[in-house]
Amino acid sequence: MSGPNDPRQGHRERLRTKFLRHGLDKFTEEEIIELLLTFGTPRRDCKQPARALLREFGSIRAVFEAEPGDLSRVDGLGPNNIVALKFIHAVSGRYLEQSLLGRDYFASSTKVHQYLKHHLESLDKEVFKVIFLDGANGVLAAEDVSRGTVGSAHVHPREIIERALVLRAAGLVFAHNHPSGKTNPSPDDFRLTRHLVHAAYLSQMRVLDHLIVGTGSNYYSFRDQGHLERYEREFDQIYQRPGS
């Protein structure tokens, strides 16, 4: 049992004091994990488990994204520690999501990319997400609409448009991940994006972008590459766009 003169307790207090004074600026990755583990480990040294986690997974991000079963195999890590790690990761995702709501999409593009990376980058299956925007490009909601296999996610444009109508959305941003980490669009990606653009315009909604999220800072923008503009022109040639 730790007492008032236990050096471990003094070390914990020093870590906590350093965090309150300086935030994470003066912390190593090992110290960040160590301090986090102390909240689920009242009487045991957390330095060695923190070191073991980094040795096993390589980075804080990889630690947070690890499966509970993989975490449980690390020496010195107990159930409370695993819950704490997964809880912090989930809370950070909720924070990123809520920080988007009501913000202008273009003014908050960095936050949008952070949010999408947090939710999509490390997944081993494709997930298709839609960000619904109001008439001033403010974010109304960000929702998963499809979870698929390693190479595909089954997306139903009609269901997306119906959801957008319920939310009274005026604009849409689509995003999905490639578990391979590569961002090159597949033929199915092009076909789906074209279908979504046409379906949205038939309902008098704008498609601002479709992003493919890869590893690191890599992503592919259908808008930046000129594809959405091409689909818009194509739509005007095929249909009389409402309001045009």
pLDDT at res. 150: 46
Radius of gyration of the chain (CA): 22
pLDDT of 163 > 60? The answer is yes
Whole-angstrom Cα distance, residue 87 to residue 65?
11
What pLDDT, in 10s, does the model give residues 95-110?
A: 877 777 777 777 666 7
pTM greater than 0.85? no
pLDDT at res. 15: 87
User: What percentage of residues in the chain have a pLDDT greater than 90?
Assistant: 41
pLDDT of 202 > 50? The answer is yes
Mean residue pLDDT of the chain comes to 85
Sign for the CA dihedral angle at 242, 154, 163, 120 comes to negative
213 vs 121, more confident = 213
* Residue 193, C-beta contacts closer than 8 angstroms, at least 6 positions apart: 174, 185, 210, 222, 227, 228, 231
pLDDT of 243 > 70? The answer is no
Question: Please, what are the domains in the chain?
Answer: 7-93 (1.10.150), 104-238 (3.40.140.10)
Whole-angstrom Cα distance, residue 231 to residue 234?
5
Could you give the C-alpha distances from 21 to 9, 18, 75, 108, in angstroms and in order? 18, 5, 31, 29
Whole-angstrom Cα distance, residue 87 to residue 94?
11
| Rounded average pLDDT over 71-79 | 91
Strands laid side by side in the 139-147 sheet: 139-147, 127-133, 171-177, 206-213, 219-221
